Chain A
Amino acid sequence: MADERTALATPLASDPGSTASSTRLKLEHVSHHFGTNSVLDDITLDIAPGEVVALVGPSGCGKSTLLNILGGLIRPSKGRVLMQGEARPDCLNPLTYVFQDFALLPWRTVEGNISLVLEDKIHDDIARCERIGEMLRLIGLQDFANAYPKQLSGGMRQRVGIARALAVRPACLFMDEPLSALDAQTRTLLLEELATLIARAAITTVYVTHNLNEALRLAHRIVLLSRRPGRIKTIIPIESSIDKRREGDANLVSAEKRLWSMIRDEASAADKELDDAR
């Protein structure tokens, strides 16, 4: 299995050297409010090419909003987002999302859901089928190509979501709590796989989560947001390389404890807040 994955992860690019994304993202003084409700306050952040950044914060701190601003799905009330660097020539959709609720079309099969995002750009049927096949192998879904989403487990559905995102060869990957709709066991399994994929693909990635464990496992830097209105509280770099980290590493566990003590009080206060933003 491990060998298979090594063999399969490389076709992300014809030349393994070019796999790495060269796209840099810059948030400049981004603020946002819904109505009179201030959600984000003056966020400035520089995300290096190929870097994995985890956005962490208590519920309602605007981390999903920030992610949607990054990818151009929400227009910020103030400030701007810059994208720098040349995307790879075969990139079909530079800014690509993996959604918390998977966002699969229930009337399309696994294959059809991946095909959906390619149809506008790859008009050659054979080329498109090859790309779909490559993604299905990458994520271990070969046997489920013709299954409908309702037949799949949550973990399988999110695999489709990930395969769909990687199929367009993104320059930046935005993941909005991709594992939070899954049960704990599936989450642990998929987290391992995601870590391998992310480490290999080296795509500029922003990963929103409220789960410190996920953030510590996947990110080069953890950006801690305060509760509403979200401000950057601290940025914590994690030195060890992503594919060497393991579930239960002593330094990850101690880092998780440290992080939790930092946000504990805020999380508790955020929990007792009335949510008017929704």
Chain B
Amino acid sequence: MRGEGQVPFRAASFSPRHRPWSGAATLAVFLLAWQIGSSIGAIPDLFLPSPFAVARALWRHALSGDLWTNLLASLLRLAVGWTLGTVIGISVGIAVGMFTLLRSPALALVSALFPIPKIALVPLFIIWFGIGEGSKYATLAIGVFFPTVISTYSGLDNVQRNLVTMGQSFNLSDWSIVRKIMLPGALPSVLAGFRITISVAIILLVAAEMIGADSGIGAFILAAGNLYRTDDLIAGVVILSLLGLTLSALLTRIEQAAFAWR
């Protein structure tokens, strides 16, 4: 190599950054293109209603009140089912993470039952828990249960051993070690699990409402589909998407507050 020149900067690639505004802009452009496609007739209305038509459908159902009735029914199921599955899942996860006696048996059951699509079990749940709310709660709770067990016990497994040893070396009681070292240490993993279980719960909610319910967003979407009211159908889907986004944003807030120390 001869001559002289400025040394080129070569370490530019492979460092993607997050730019929220470009995310929002992408959604806006997407909606705009969709609306233009519908307006000029490139996309037939029955095939895919325009964003405007979907917004109109949402407005209509919001005014008539059945949007709120269905949303409320769904939210209630989501809250009860998810909480039930989460509470039981965390308890079992803690047992698996702490006690040798329970670990292998519980993990064997979890490994065997986790892969079963819960949707396939909905008819069974209807027989067990009735066509009413019981079967919906059960479907959600079981779907949420397994990922929660796994995120809880793996969170406990990943608590740094040296912190536990430290607690023991200071003669902390076992209960103090669990409460002040193990559980806070496992919390990041548990909250990461929430992200998954909230999505799982929404998916199962809709499935359960489609199989046997006369209220809820799932039932609303199914009814719209049966009548080929595609604008209502997409309106229902939009509600689900917004629901997921809201809950995920809420979780981000909780994480930021809980993990200020990171």
Contact = CB atoms under 8 A, between A and B. Distances in A.
Interface string B157-186: 000001101111111110010001100100
A148 B261 contact: yes
A106 B166 contact: no
Interface stretch (A97-105, A194-202, A246-254, A255-263): A97-105
A21 interface: no
A3 to B, nearest CB: 32
A233 interface: no
B103 to A, nearest CB: 23
| Best-buried of B168, B170, B259 by chain A (most CB within 10 Å) | B170
Contacts of B166: 97, 99, 103
- B interface, by DSSP: helix, strand, loop or mixed? helix
Given A120-B173, A168-B170, A105 B262 contact: no
A168 B176 CA distance: 16
A120 B171 contact: yes
Residues of A in contact with B, size category: 20 to 34
Contact of B176 (A106, A107, A120, A164): A120
A96 interface: yes
Interface string A82-121: 0000000000010111010101011110000000110110
B181 A105 contact: yes
B181 A93 contact: no
B169 A97 contact: yes
Given A150-B261, A150-B262, A103 B165 contact: yes
A106 B171 contact: no
B167 to A, nearest CB: 8
Interface of A: 71, 73, 93, 95-97, 99, 101, 103, 105-108, 116-117, 119-120, 148-150, 164, 168
5 contacts: A73-B165, A93-B171, A99-B162, A105-B181, A120-B173
